[in-house]
Structures are given as structure tokens and as C-alpha cells.
Amino acid sequence: MVNSILDGLENLPSVNTCLCTSHGEWLIGDVIKASSFLRDRFPEVKGARIVIRALDVLEFITALIAFDGIADSILLLPANLDLRIEEELIREVNCTYSWSDVEQRLIVVNGNSQYPSKMGGTRWVLATSGTTGVPKLIEHSLASLTRTLKFSPDKGSQFRWGLMYDPSRFAGLQVVLQALLGNSSLCLPSESGFDAQVQALLDYRVNALSATPTLWRKLLMDGRIRRISLRQITLGGELVDQGVLDALRLSFPSSRITHIYASTEVGTGFAVNDGLAGFPKKWLELEEGQMPMRIDDRGHLLVKPTSLPTGDEVKKRMDADGYFDTDDQVRIKDGRVIFLGRASGAINVGGNKVNPELVEQVLRQVEGVADAKVYAKKSSVVGQLVAADIVPTLDSDKKSLRQEIRDRCLRSLESWQIPAFINFVSKLDVTTAGKLERTT
């Protein structure tokens, strides 16, 4: 295990391509030179706590490589956070400096604080990707972030990774670190936004891509992604249903499709490669080579990572045996553990709990439905009712589609799970983390 990203890069061939940008390609040697220059220019970073915002992706990656291994802590913040929330998180971590990639300088944010150089590596402080309230902070190390990544220089050189995630988020960091330390190329979009991301995938002919199920459905609906030959497809961040797995297999029959179970709180848990939703029940009983897991009496999946990040959010969800409550509800069916959705996101219809993700899976099975989002609407009678926003395919007749949806729901769902409101929309909002926007 390397002590820093820079150390890892120095172990790789300096003439290999590392980053692909609209301004040209960066070799590993170029990245090392730029990051080393930045490190030498700002010696005050040693032992300090700094914040880096994900503004320009190239500048963000360069600063991250430069300061990892010498800073006490690096707080990573996405660029779109509300200023008030940013300031609250910076105070919580007690940062000394803020890195400005626009001005290429450090800005003092807490000039009275000094910290001794921390031994044992830099702490990476990440914000959870929740859609409401102030994000929770989770502390990682380079070791915990790279614990399950695959680093084979010969094999890695065959991959050109696209970037669909914000690199300041856990999922984005996984892609960045896999590409950088795995001797692969990382292809960066020229600007933010879905169209720019897709254009970058096409321009650089990427053959490896990680995205949430929501983004994969959006990519498949867009259609342009089918112009390239993907060798590695990775899904994570949300519930992965059989429909999206089947659609990806149909579009990319020769690709390796991997469902990664991971979160900011516990890091990467496990990977499923058999093309089926959920994971084998027998994994609950394995003791070696697999993260210990169990299901509690509420149907929540509990996991016990060998290397757990720190922070108050993690501690309060740990039990006495060291198991972490993932908040994911599951059930066992036909020898597999199937994910139903987040327990905290359930809709309460007269005392009956409804998992929005479960209803969405049923809706997406209806021919003519391109995508769906299920959410709660207030009711004076039963507290909440189920509502659904439906994105129809272009050739759909909305009147007949509405009836098809009603019929399928009657056959597949309990009465309290059936959407009382069905709205047709042109698109569904997606968060900066690539997930379906759940706020209403």
C-alpha cells in the first residue's frame, strides 16, 4: 500500500497517458511534475487542515495529488453546496486553509489555528450525498478508499475510464483513484453537465464507465452511449434492479457488468458480477474473503467492514458487535438477498410502509415507461399517499399507458402500494451525486 497518491504514481511508467482533457493528454510524468510543483510552492500545507472544492476537475485532481500525504486533513466539498453549509462544514473540520483553483493560492480561513504534522497519512473528510439538511462528514484514509480497488499495471493500461461523478464524492474518488493508481487513462469532460459528459465519452472512446442506475437509464434513453464498446460497466450508489442489468447486457453483450455495493459511510462492501439483482444468500454465512453481513429483525442489512472510516455519523449507527446499519431494507427470495430500498425513505400510507424503489421497479416493467420516480404526497386521511412521475417513451400513447400502469400495479402490488397519482413528465431530476432526486 502506498503512503500517498504521488508515491503511487511514481511507481508507474512516467510515459503512460494518465489524463485525457480537451486541451490534450497528460502523461503520468506530467501529473507528477505539476503536483510536485504545487506541493513545493505551498509548504504551509504540511500538517494543516485544508478544504478543496471540486470546481475545475483537472485542477482539483492536481491539488489532491499535491496535498495528499502532507496535509493533516483534506475536506472535499462539491462545488454546488450552499455557502452557508460550506462554512458550517469548514468550521466543523476546523480547516486552516481553503484551496482556490481559480487563483492558484491558499486562502486563510482560520488563521489562529496551527496543527502539528500528522503521522500515518492524510485524513480525507467527505460529505455524504444526502439531499436535505447539512451533509454528514465521514473520515477516510487513502487505505480505506483504495481497499477494494484493483491495481494491475498491465491490465490497467488497457482501460480508458470516463467520469460521470463529481470527483469530490466517494463514488467519484473511486473512479479517480482506480484510474490514477491502476495505470489507466481518466477522461475528463470539458465542462459539467450531462451532454458534456456524454460527448467526452464519445470523443475519448472510453471503454470503462461507472455510474448510478439512474445515470445508466439516462444514458440508455439518450442512446449515444451505444456508439462505443464498453469493456467494464460498473453500477452503484442506488438500488440496482434486474431491469437496468438486463438493458445493459442487451446493449453491451461483451462487457463485464459489476454492481458495487458501497457508500460514503462504509466504503466499498462487495461486488456482484453474475448479472442478477441483489447478492447470493450464502454470502451472509461466509466467514473468509467476504465482508461479514447479517439482517436484523427489521429487515435492515448490517455490514462489518474490516476497515471502517470514523466520525460521529458512523459511530451512532454501529451496534455492540461492530456491525453498521446501512439503512437498506432487504428480503430473501429464491436464494438471493434482494434490496427493497432505504428504510428512512419509506412512505407511510395509513401505517403501511411503502418502499418507493420497489414500486418504481414495477412501473419500469410496463412497456412504454422509460423511467419512474415514486414519492409521497400528504393526505389528511391516511397521512401519506403514493405518487409517481412517469417518463414515457416517445412512441407511447399516454391514455393507454396510464391504463397499462394501473393494470400492472393491480397485479403486482398491494392496494396501499399503488400510486394514487400518476403524472407524465419529460424528465426526472438527478442530483449532483448522479442519483434520482428524492425531494419534492
Which uninterrupted H or E stretch holds 173?
A: helix 170-181
Q: Does position 30 have pLDDT exceeding 50, yes or no?
A: yes
- 67-95 mean pLDDT: 89
Helices (H), 230-349: 242-251, 312-315
Between 356 and 431, the more confident residue is 356
Cell of 210: 461507472
Q: What is the pTM of this model?
A: 0.90
Question: Shortest CA distance to 107 belongs to which of 151, 59, 42?
Answer: 42
Cell of 425: 413528465
Pairing outcome for strands 300-303 and 324-333: antiparallel
Alpha carbon of 16 to those of 61, 62, 154, 158: distances in Å?
17, 17, 11, 11
Q: Does position 232 have pLDDT exceeding 50, yes or no?
A: yes
CATH fit for domain 346-424, picks 3.30.300.30, 3.40.1280.10, 3.40.50.620, 1.10.260.40: 3.30.300.30
- Establish whether domains 22-145 and 207-342 are of one fold: yes
Helices (H), 387-440: 398-412
Lowest mean pLDDT among 72-76, 111-115, 133-137, 255-259: 111-115
d(CA 64, CA 62) in angstroms, rounded, equals: 5
Identify the band that residue 158 occupies on the pLDDT scale cut at 50, 70 and 90: very high
Cell of 398: 399516454
Place of cell 453498521: 324
CATH code for 22-145? 3.40.50.980
pLDDT at residue 117 in the model: 46
**374 bridge partner residues:** 388
Lowest mean pLDDT among 177-181, 197-201, 352-356, 378-382: 378-382
Q: Does position 52 have pLDDT exceeding 90, yes or no?
A: yes
Which uninterrupted H or E stretch holds 209?
A: strand 208-211
Which uninterrupted H or E stretch holds 434?
A: none
Burial class (CB in 10 A: 0-12, 13-18, 19+), 30: middle
Question: Shortest CA distance to 99 belongs to which of 61, 137, 127?
Answer: 61
Instruction: Please report the sign of the dihedral spanned by the C-alpha atoms of residue 70, residue 72, residue 76, residue 79.
Output: negative
How many C-beta atoms surround the C-beta of residue 407 within 10 A? 11
* Domain boundaries, given as residue ranges, for the chain: 22-145, 207-342, 346-424
d(CA 265, CA 209) in angstroms, rounded, equals: 23
**Amino acid, res. 37:** F
- 243-249 mean pLDDT: 96
Q: Does position 131 have pLDDT exceeding 50, yes or no?
A: no
Pairing outcome for strands 24-27 and 17-21: antiparallel
**Dihedral (Cα; 308, 312, 316, 319), 10-degree rounding:** 30
Q: Does position 289 have pLDDT exceeding 70, yes or no?
A: no
**351 Ramachandran zone, left/alpha/beta (phi>0; psi -120 to 50):** left
**Domain 207-342 class in CATH:** alpha beta
pLDDT at residue 307 in the model: 64
Cell of 325: 446499519
Q: Does position 68 have pLDDT exceeding 80, yes or no?
A: yes
Q: What is the mean pLDDT of the chain?
A: 89
pLDDT at residue 65 in the model: 96
At 107, phi and psi to the nearest 5? -110, 125
Identify the band that residue 113 occupies on the pLDDT scale cut at 50, 70 and 90: low
